Structure 1
């Protein structure tokens, strides 16, 4: 059975004429949309797109599937409208909190699906630095929020009345300037090989910085912090410019606007767990619906260190 999200991706590329323009329309990054299309091609068992210097066009198989995809999506949208009226999600407001990475890479596709299903619900999105998002949920400033914690790291239990539902766990990876020797290998890089490397890192009070430096020290890799920044985007830009190496969440490495070398670390014990914070009692139906969309789209099981 074809995933409707991937069918929508095919329709968007057909209408936009390129993967990048389709990604902008759907709220994806271009690499994320390419992954969805690749999965659809594997499901179909044949090539659906031909990429060229001006964009992308559908193959004969893609054109055939496009017709069916539009019918399926039209039927699903009609069903969503009917269910919205049935469940009372034909108005009201949904207030969502997020942190920057999730707001850039995870939230837009889920909100796009929510908007298609419930076009009359007013949406608002507010950015927070974790753990401020969970406090905002507790205070009723937002209906639910995406937040994160680092493993290993300091435990930050949510406020009373707020529950955390894990969505996904991502590794922290090494990023370097393009062509750097440490990013040249195909396998995982032992942590000990970072010894002596100049490190671009977060601000001293950041929990992730403390966790990274503790793990590196335990592996016998003493590092010297050369530059500091409170922003992962700036950290990646400084690394790309050659000021040092950094250990950042995989999602930040993949979405960096500056070119980077990327390599996974061994052992893979530095993790970031992304969760949705919500109030189990008294939550709005719209919040429950978006939480279900997030769960269905992003929940995956990862080993616990």
Structure 2
């Protein structure tokens, strides 16, 4: 069986597996059974004559051959989809940019940049999706998004170890801050001493991001009073006086009433970066325009803080 005999369905399934990181998640996204996904991957590997995936307890990882197939499959699928749209009389794919973003970017950076882009380049359509860093990086590799906004913490390692390395541009780097209720004793000053964070009630994230919301490097086991998946819930819990939480400084304009955002002094600096990531190839003009809008929005936000 030659690889030229590989079916388009198998290529689409393979791209979904690469993006979602597990056969189960890909099956759910496609509405298939896991066994059906496994059969499609097996047929593709037979056509390639080599394994395309490493099966591990925590999911799958592409082999070097799998990375080659993914790059080619993404191109083929996108071209066929663009052809179908053109035949149907729909807008050209080149006028559309697909952007992935981390959660808190949706409260300030994303709407600011999209508003500016709509004003200067109204013919560019931007579609977006929210996701974790691993999910967005897989989507970039799979070719299902063109750009990704990523949050990065020290020691600022690359978001994955795959090759070729992603292009990463730092849009902004600022110190982490603390959101406290206006009625909290910590809200009385213009900054919080790191020693005063001991014994506080924290509002943290959930699942693998449970520690998000707790000041890094505390030399005690934090008292996590509440956990919440989204920033809006965390901040309204803060406003209601149920605890404190860490926030990136750019979220300050989006605070609900009753919340103060303050820097922390003492101890090591806790810097956070916002990165714009894409595959190492020239960006089409619409994607480059969006990248410029995101950089400008990040710079303007920095200057206003």
TM-score range, shorter chain: 0.5 to 0.7
Counterpart selection for 2:141 from 134, 138, 141:
138
Measure, in 2, the Cα distance between the counterparts of 1:101 and 1:126: 13
CA 1:154–1:226 in 2, change beyond 3 Å: closer, same or farther?
farther
The superposition leaves residues 215-244 of structure 1 with CA deviations (integer Å, 9 ceiling, x where unpaired) of 121xxx653111112222211111221112
The C-alpha deviation readout for 1:181-234, integer Å capped at 9, x for no partner, is 111012x32211111112222226217539x455121xxx65311111222221
Distance 1:139 1:271 in 2: 30
1:286 matched to 2:290? no
In the other structure, the counterpart of 2:273 is 273
1:174 matched to 2:150: no
- 1:71-86 equivalences under 5 Å are none
Distance 1:158 1:102 in 2: 24
Shift, 1:113, TM fit: 2.8
Equivalenced residue count is 208
Gaps of 5+ in 1: 1-88
Q: Name the structure 1 match of 2:260.
A: 261
**Counterpart of 2:96?**
93
Is 2:242 aligned against 1:243? yes
Match of 1:201 in 2: 204
Cross-structure match for 1:121: 124
Q: Give the CA deviation at 1:180.
A: 1.0
Instruction: Assess, with a 3 A threshold, how the Cα gap between structure 1 residues 135 and 198 changes in structure 2: closer, same or farther.
Output: same
Find the residue that maps to 1:237 and give its secondary structure. helix
- Check whether the contact 2:108–2:251 (CA below 8 A) recurs between aligned residues: no
Q: Which residue of 100, 103, 108 maps to 1:105? A: 108
SS in 2 for 1:283: coil
When residues 207 and 271 of structure 1 are mapped into structure 2, their CA distance, relative to the original with a 3 A threshold, is: farther
Q: Structure 1 residues 258, 164: closer, same or farther in 2, change over 3 A? A: same
Indicate conservation of the 8 Å contact 2:148/2:276, yes or no.
yes
**Stretches of structure 2 lacking an aligned partner (at least 5 in a row):** 1-91
